[in-house]
Amino acid sequence: MSIESDFFRRMEPKFDSLEPYGFVRAGEAYVYQTEFQEGAFRAEVTVREPTEHVDGEPDVFVTGRVMDTDLQEEYMPLRSPTAIGAFVGQVRENYAAILGDIAEQCFRPLPFLYDQSNRIARRVRKAYGDDVERTFRNNDDVGVFRDLPTKKWYGIVMTVSKARLERLSEEKFAKDRGEKLPPEPKGKRTKEGPKDYDARPEDEIEILNVKLDPVKIPLLEKADGFYPCYHMNRNHWITVALDGRVSDDYIMELIQESHALSIRKPKTGAAARRVPGEPLEWFVPANPKYYDVEAAFSEQEEIFWHQGGKFEVGDIAYMYVGAPRSSIMYKCVVTGVDCGSYTNHNGKQRTMMLIKKLEEYPPDLLPWSEIKHTGLGTAQGIKYITPKLRELIVRKLEEWESS
Work out the widest C-alpha separation in the chain, in whole angstroms.
85
Measured at the CA of 231, the angle between CA 230 and CA 232, to 5 degrees, comes to: 95
* CA-to-CA separations, 239 to 36, 99, 128, 370, in angstroms, rounded: 51, 38, 21, 35
φ, ψ for residue 364, nearest 5 deg: -90, 5
**In the predicted model, what is the mean pLDDT of residues 150-178?**
89
Give how far the C-alpha of residue 365 lies from the chain's centroid of Cα atoms, to the nearest Å.
22
**In the predicted model, what is the mean pLDDT of residues 192-202?**
46
Q: What domains lie within the chain, and their CATH numbers?
A: 3-109 (no CATH), 115-184+195-263 (3.90.1150.30), 270-402 (3.10.590.10)
Residues 220-235 have pLDDT tens digits of 998 999 999 998 899 9
Category of 114 on φ-ψ map: left (φ > 0), alpha (ψ -120 to 50) or beta: beta
Task: Please return the burial class of 316, using the count of CB atoms within 10 Å of its CB with bins 0-12, 13-18 and 19+.
Answer: middle
Lowest-confidence pick of 2-6, 107-111, 266-270, 322-326 = 266-270
Task: Please return the burial class of 26, using the count of CB atoms within 10 Å of its CB with bins 0-12, 13-18 and 19+.
Answer: exposed
Among residues 238, 237, 235, the alpha carbon closest in space to that of 246 is found at: 238
Per-residue pLDDT at 139? 66
* CA-to-CA separations, 149 to 269, 275, 361, in angstroms, rounded: 9, 11, 29
Per-residue pLDDT at 193? 43
**Would you say 217 and 239 are in contact if contact means Cβ atoms under 8 Å apart?**
no
Per-residue pLDDT at 58? 57
Compare 76 and 198 and report the one with higher pLDDT: 76
Q: Determine the Cα–Cα distance for residues 173 and 75; give it in Å rounded to an integer.
A: 60
pLDDT at 271 over 70: no
pLDDT at 194 over 60: no
* CA-to-CA separations, 262 to 145, 156, 248, 266, 310, in angstroms, rounded: 11, 12, 20, 12, 22
Task: Please return the burial class of 242, using the count of CB atoms within 10 Å of its CB with bins 0-12, 13-18 and 19+.
Answer: buried
Compare 114 and 186 and report the one with higher pLDDT: 114
Per-residue pLDDT at 151? 87
Q: Which amino acid is at 334?
A: V
**Would you say 47 and 29 are in contact if contact means Cβ atoms under 8 Å apart?**
yes
Among residues 374, 370, 379, 373, the alpha carbon closest in space to that of 399 is found at: 370
The per-type count for the chain, helices as H runs and strands as E runs, is 11, 21
Per-residue pLDDT at 346? 77
Task: Label residue 267 by pLDDT band (50, 70, 90).
Answer: very low
**Would you say 295 and 191 are in contact if contact means Cβ atoms under 8 Å apart?**
no
Task: Label residue 393 by pLDDT band (50, 70, 90).
Answer: very high
For the chain, the average pLDDT equals: 87
Among residues 53, 55, 49, 58, the alpha carbon closest in space to that of 28 is found at: 49
Residues 71-86 have pLDDT tens digits of 999 999 999 989 889 9
Per-residue pLDDT at 178? 85
pLDDT at 368 over 90: yes
pLDDT at 124 over 60: yes
Task: Please return the burial class of 321, using the count of CB atoms within 10 Å of its CB with bins 0-12, 13-18 and 19+.
Answer: buried
Q: What is the dihedral of CA 121, 122, 128, 134, to 10 degrees?
A: 40
Task: Please return the burial class of 251, using the count of CB atoms within 10 Å of its CB with bins 0-12, 13-18 and 19+.
Answer: buried
Q: Determine the Cα–Cα distance for residues 397 and 365; give it in Å rounded to an integer.
A: 8
**In the predicted model, what is the mean pLDDT of residues 138-154?**
85
**Would you say 352 and 307 are in contact if contact means Cβ atoms under 8 Å apart?**
yes
Q: Determine the Cα–Cα distance for residues 27 and 166; give it in Å rounded to an integer.
A: 46
Strand partners, 115: none
pTM above 0.85, yes or no: no
Among residues 132, 127, 129, the alpha carbon closest in space to that of 149 is found at: 129
Task: Label residue 56 by pLDDT band (50, 70, 90).
Answer: low
Per-residue pLDDT at 195? 42
Lowest-confidence pick of 161-175, 226-240, 263-277, 301-315 = 263-277
**In the predicted model, what is the mean pLDDT of residues 261-289?**
75
Task: Label residue 12 by pLDDT band (50, 70, 90).
Answer: confident
% of the chain exceeding 90 in pLDDT = 52
Q: Determine the Cα–Cα distance for residues 393 and 395; give it in Å rounded to an integer.
A: 6
